[in-house]
Structure 1
Amino acid sequence: MALAGQLAIVTGASRGIGRGIALQLGQAGATVYITGRKPDQSFNNKLGLCGLEETAEEITKRGGKGIARFVDHQNMDEVKNFFENIEKDHNGQLDILVNNAYQGVTAISENMGKPFYETDPYVWDTINNVGLRNHYFCTVYAARLMAARNKGLIVNVSSGGGIRYIFNVAYGVGKQALDRLSVDAAVELEKKNVCVVSIWPGAAKTELSSQKFPDENGTPKDGLANSMMFVNGETVEYPGKAIVALASDPKRMNKTGRILITEDLGREYGFVDIDGKTPPNLRSVNFILHHVGFPNIAKCIPNWVRLPGWAIWAGNGHL
């Protein structure tokens, strides 16, 4: 129970990576506030609970304390009120913030392959209101609490979309900006002993990817050539294990302002995924070649051959 007595917030934790992170924080003993939008009237399950409430119950079963709060992260008044209640209810304590809420998945899927100039420009707001603007607001409110206590950890769940074109223009700009938020906020919070990082999960086996990508036998769905990476990808709890390890590290300030890949943290801290496997590393030459369409060459490259971080992030100011 490495995080017993600590208070964490994970935004967007009804499902997917946010849920996995929240479960691992709870398993480590933390009190975890999880946020998500209030469900519509169509949801129904045997317990009469929505996904957010189910996640909170599972956190508690694992040894932590799960607390569900409905917050619309498009509405900054609701976000502000949520943090004010945290401050009031816990005497200003906040140890960990994980910015994970995201709204743009449907918009990205619906506009896949369409150039930005043929897309409704309001797709920018759909992708980056919750996925970037909200993260800035949450980071401001969390940093105020953490700076007052001279300790804390803020994690922005990002992706490689900040260094190369993925999906569309709005997505890439948003992810680059989110990584920049981590880098620059770390500069101003370093003297307050608050660690700020971006974390890049690999291809994750979320509920959505399980529907769209291959089955466990590797049969591709929708004719997607790169879909095999999800078969061998990480579970939604692997990023959570990475964040627990980072939060438990007394020397974590050495990593502030950096972009961290989940599998790099797995090797450094010595943990594997909940299925006992070690997922591919985004810096692996084997993984990169397979992803860009050279599977036969990829087979000839050992998994341990990786590009150095500076080669990936050169020109973006990320070290």
Structure 2
Amino acid sequence: MTKSATPSLRGKITLVTGASRGIGRGIALQLGQAGATVYITGRQPSQSLQSNCEYGDALPTLEKTKQDIEDRGGKVILVYCDHSDSESIKALFERIDTENNGQLDILVNNAFSAVNDINNSGGKPFYELDPSLWDAVNNVGLRNHYYCAVYACRLMTKRKSGLIINISSIGGLSYAFNVAYGCGKTALDRMAADMAEELKESGVTILSLWPAAVKTECAKELIAAGKVQEVVKGPKDMIEESLTTGETVEFSGRCIVHMAADPKISKKAGKILFTSDVARHYGFKDVDGATPQDMRSVALALRFFGWRKLASLTPNFLRIPLTGMHFVSYKFE
């Protein structure tokens, strides 16, 4: 598809949870730049560590995200919200309802509070870790997303319009980080699929979005500290290369802007979309002008599994069929 102009989301009311840093911050920046009114959430400064990785300087804050959106001419409302607390989540949506006469067009379920817990697990197996790791990973990373989807749909279904994006990952298909993480991402994808089933004919679309390797603040800190292999399994050089040359934190935001402006997006309800596939479909590149790695690239997969010579001979246009992706995970006898 030929390169497309960035669509306008002027008049849209959007919510991005967990927008202090990383992908959430990037998504909020892109939505605001596209003209949407963006509600951004994060924990109170006293509740949030200055660095969620503990390997470098202080990371961006929710206030910085707000300022950057405004500097780009966007409209933003900052709301401190503890996404581990059900009453705080409920109050957030009540505020959006009151301030916008019931309008909420886009919800991005992105909040995640277990980066430190994952980084500090040191690659240990689940039985050597405190079982509370499950709650640390999946309270905000899964339970909260369910709560947010419930409250968002109560607003959206009344207007028979809305889009909910769950920010998930390939950890929902194949092992990544630890058991709790993989279970949470798998459940998040299944949640989108099952909610889509019940949202048929409602006018509300929900789906999962899978970014590839992203150049987050945390990824940069891990590389600088030489801690990558403690957190991510796989060939060290390839992982560091992916994190260094991967997607910017705003690439997922570009994907969501295009999807939100697509009148046919309901056909993707309940599906899992790769950011690289979304960019290919709508014809755009990352904000830095690059074309990020294709998660379905055969050459990329060969490199990851150590077959570098074969990978170098494999044409870039060869891609793994979506049906073939399932063979990485499912263990039917």
TM-score normalised per structure 2: 0.88
1:28 corresponds to which of 22, 31, 34: 34
Unaligned runs of 5+ in 2: 1-6, 51-59, 230-235
Tell me how far 1:302 sits from its aligned partner.
Answer: 2.2
Structure 1 stretches of 4+ with a deviation exceeding 4 A read 220-223
Q: 3-state SS of the aligned residue for 1:67?
A: strand
Unaligned runs of 5+ in 1: 44-49
Q: 3-state SS of the aligned residue for 2:38?
A: strand
Taking the aligned partners of 1:236 and 1:101, their CA distance within structure 2 comes to 14
CA deviation profile, 1:59-83 (whole Å, cap 9, x unmatched): 1222320111100111111011110
Given the alignment of the two structures, is residue 229 of structure 1 paired with residue 236 of structure 2, yes or no? Answer: no
CA deviation profile, 1:31-66 (whole Å, cap 9, x unmatched): 0000000012986xxxxxx71112112212223201
Alignment partner, residue 107 of structure 2: 97
- Distance change >3 Å, CA 267–CA 214, structure 1 → 2: farther
CA deviation profile, 1:67-125 (whole Å, cap 9, x unmatched): 11100111111011110111111110000000000011111111132111111111000
Higher relative contact order (Cα pairs below 8 Å, separated by 6+ residues) = 2
Taking the aligned partners of 1:250 and 1:311, their CA distance within structure 2 comes to 29
Given the alignment of the two structures, is residue 160 of structure 1 paired with residue 170 of structure 2, yes or no? Answer: yes
Given the alignment of the two structures, is residue 297 of structure 1 paired with residue 310 of structure 2, yes or no? Answer: yes
Q: Give the total of aligned pairs.
A: 308
The one-letter amino acid paired with 1:268 is H
Q: 3-state SS of the aligned residue for 1:137?
A: helix
> Cα RMSD over matched residues?
2.1
For 1:103-252, what aligned pairs fall within 5 Å after superposition?
Answer: 103-213=113-223, 224-225=236-237, 226-252=239-265
Alignment partner, residue 287 of structure 1: 300
CA deviation profile, 1:189-230 (whole Å, cap 9, x unmatched): 121111101000010001011112279xxxx77673321111
Q: Percentage identity across aligned positions?
A: 52
Given the alignment of the two structures, is residue 260 of structure 1 paired with residue 273 of structure 2, yes or no? Answer: yes
The one-letter amino acid paired with 2:188 is L
Which stretch has the larger CA shift, 186-195 or 131-140? 186-195
Tell me how far 1:263 sits from its aligned partner.
Answer: 0.8
Alignment partner, residue 70 of structure 2: 60
TM-score normalised per structure 1: 0.92
